[in-house]
Amino acid sequence: MSNSKKEGIKFEHELISSFNKVPYTSVYKPPDTPGITNGKMSFTPKRPFDMFVCHRGISIAIEAKKTSCVTSFPFGNQAVLKPHQIGYLYTHYVSWGPSFVFVNFRNDEMCRAAAVPISFIIDNLKTLKYKYIFDTFQEIPRDHNLWNVEHFLNSCVKEVTCKWAEYGDA
């Protein structure tokens, strides 16, 4: 396993631990599924995204990505987001659930993370190539080995509650 892959898995585990520290929050990480072999053909179902977080009854879909390039994150042709991940995140989003890509910039000098809404990625997919994340999106502060995600979670609940009120579903 490459060092980059190990760092990505470490980021996922840090996020899960961080979310689990917040009251009224639970995390579900869909398991990786083994391949299904049928004669000569092998098929491995794709996991939709890295985790569901439920906070105060609101479902939030999260895909965690790690990069060592602190100035930008590739969204265009060299994107690290797969088309099926974008599709599943967007489907969750339009079904009244916030969906985000958590981007972790990690190198020898720094470790930062930001939450990028899938709606921004969808709206800008054709024109977006690289984006300096910290000028645009909510940065997630870090305390020791945990991420301070409580403000992020509460903003997601507020967003969904406002949508429900707008459509008379609250």
Return the domain boundaries, the chain. 3-166
* Domain 3-166: CATH architecture, name and number where available: 3-Layer(aba) Sandwich (3.40)
Spatial CB neighbours of 27, under 8 Å, sequence gap ≥ 6: 16, 19, 20, 51, 52, 53, 54
Convert the pLDDT of each residue in 121-148 to its tens digit.
888 766 655 556 666 777 888 887 789 9
What pLDDT score was predicted for residue 48? 83
Q: List the one residue out of 82, 62, 57 whose CA is nearest residue 164.
A: 57
What pLDDT score was predicted for residue 170? 47
What pLDDT score was predicted for residue 73? 64
pTM of the model: 0.80
